[in-house]
Amino acid sequence: MSKKFEPPKGTRDFLPEDMRVRRMVFDRLRHHFRLHGFDELDTPAFEYLEVLTLKAGAQAENEIYSFTDKGDRKLGLRFDLTSSTGRVAASHAELPRPIYRFQIDKVWRYDRPQAGRYREFYQADTDIIGSYSIECEVELLQMATEILRSFDLHEYKLVVNNRKILEAQIRIAGIPPEKKPDALRALDKLLKVGKDGMKAEFLQYGLSEKQFDDFYKTIVVDTLDDAETRVSSDEGGRAGVAELRELFSRAERLGFAQHLQFDWSLVRGLDYYTGPIFEAHAKVEGGFGSFGGGGRYDDLVALYGGQPQGAVGFSFGVERLIGLLLQREAKIPTSRPALLVAAPEQAQFDAAVNLSTKLREGGVAVRLLPTGWNRGQIFKYSTATGMHKVILVGAEEAASGIYGLRDGETRTEEKLAPPEIIARLRS
């Protein structure tokens, strides 16, 4: 008995039916990105390892598929799309600013596979690079609401916080700057481990119980007004509150504020965020699950050697978005070849090819079967593939140029010339 091979752990095969759904989601995302004036970028699947760890830190190396090539260079598969974007922006000063960029591509993370998490997955990123204006955040969040509305997805929220507020709260709690990443890392786990678990994280990182208590009582707030009161003594904290007020005010005027919600516990783990941060959460069993997010990262381009400049981005986790849409039975119209054309006899194959060419030129998708199939086999195949529109090209059809367009669902047939077939199927 021959051995059956499975895809590597944390990866999946996508069969044609899966790909029809995935392609439609990709196409719709790409359509909306372009509607908002974003240009597409493509970058290598692997980068120098330093490019990847420069942004995320050395601790991220455990999650990177890294290797040494034959030239003894240390490389790694990209674990997100932002590192490459920062590198491109830094090395191409000739690109007019602001850069409006999008990319839909695979990334890889050596993580423990679990429900909804894989080692190979797609991200759909949009970034605006070269502006410090809060209007860029507004643009990205408004676009996100338009995309989700186009998928008929309504039960979601875009939760928002500001790293300037979080950093002010750290300073007020007396936590030294070098311990800021540890404090934020602990806060990022709050929803998973609870207050006691977060406290244990603090102590594990060498922070004191008093620092935890001072930080915790500063961060737990009900509203943005409460946060403003807590950080009123800190200039950076006041600036962070002002930015969020402007963001919420503009969202109100533009009609999507009902989807925004201030969340004091939102951290967005990575250390490179510098301003507003946001996540897309959808209602799932037991609460809300994240399927996208982003924020402002004004220091990133300079980190890769470019001129300091503002930057903000939003990324959809495509696998989670698709899973959510399928779970909700949202509207994902899929496409397949509209028509199956077959010539049972080899003598009519050239006529079938010519007909298929005319129909394709008219915008009709055609799948042409090889000869040697009898009628019963052809119709059985059309049913199995869901291709219910069928034309059989025999000697009579080849001679007359009139073809029987059969509908396997209604069991009807119409005699039509190629222009009529095109008009019927394209409508």
Per DSSP, helices labelled H in 207-310 are: 209-219, 224-230, 235-254, 300-303
The pLDDT confidence band at residue 287, using thresholds 50, 70 and 90, is low
DSSP 348: G
In the chain, what is the straight-line distance between the N-terminal and C-terminal CA atoms, in Å? 51
Cβ–Cβ < 8 Å for 331, 353? no
Helix and strand numbers (H, E) in the chain are 16, 16
**CA dist., res. 113 & res. 62, Å (int):** 15
Per DSSP, helices labelled H in 129-179 are: 135-150, 163-172
| Cα distances (angstroms) measured from residue 45 to each of 42, 52, 70, 72, 121 | 9, 12, 17, 18, 12
**CA dist., res. 142 & res. 162, Å (int):** 18
Position 385 scores a pLDDT of 86
**CA dist., res. 224 & res. 397, Å (int):** 73
Position 210 scores a pLDDT of 94
**Quick check: do 7-132+298-335 and 339-426 share a fold?**
no
Q: What is the CATH number of domain 7-132+298-335?
A: 3.30.930.10
CATH H-level superfamily of 148-275: Bira Bifunctional Protein; Domain 2 (3.30.930.10)
Tell me the domain boundaries of the chain: 7-132+298-335, 148-275, 339-426
Q: Which CATH number fits domain 339-426: 3.30.1370.10, 3.40.50.1220, 3.40.50.800, 1.25.40.340?
A: 3.40.50.800
Q: For 212-239, how does the pLDDT look when each residue is reduced to its tens digit (9 = 90+)?
A: 999 999 999 999 999 999 999 999 999 9
Over the chain, what is the mean pLDDT? Answer: 92
**CA dist., res. 237 & res. 171, Å (int):** 10
Q: For 148-203, how does the pLDDT look when each residue is reduced to its tens digit (9 = 90+)?
A: 998 888 789 999 999 999 999 999 999 999 999 899 989 998 988 999 999 999 99
Overall average pLDDT of the 264-293 stretch:
84
Q: For 103-115, how does the pLDDT look when each residue is reduced to its tens digit (9 = 90+)?
A: 999 999 998 877 6
Phi and psi, residue 367, nearest 5°:
-105, 125
Overall average pLDDT of the 138-147 stretch:
95
- Of 301 and 17, the structure prediction assigns the larger pLDDT to 301
Overall average pLDDT of the 391-409 stretch:
94
Query: Residue 76: which of 101, 58, 103, 102 has the closest Cα?
Result: 58
Q: Give the whole-number percent of the chain exceeding pLDDT 70.
A: 95
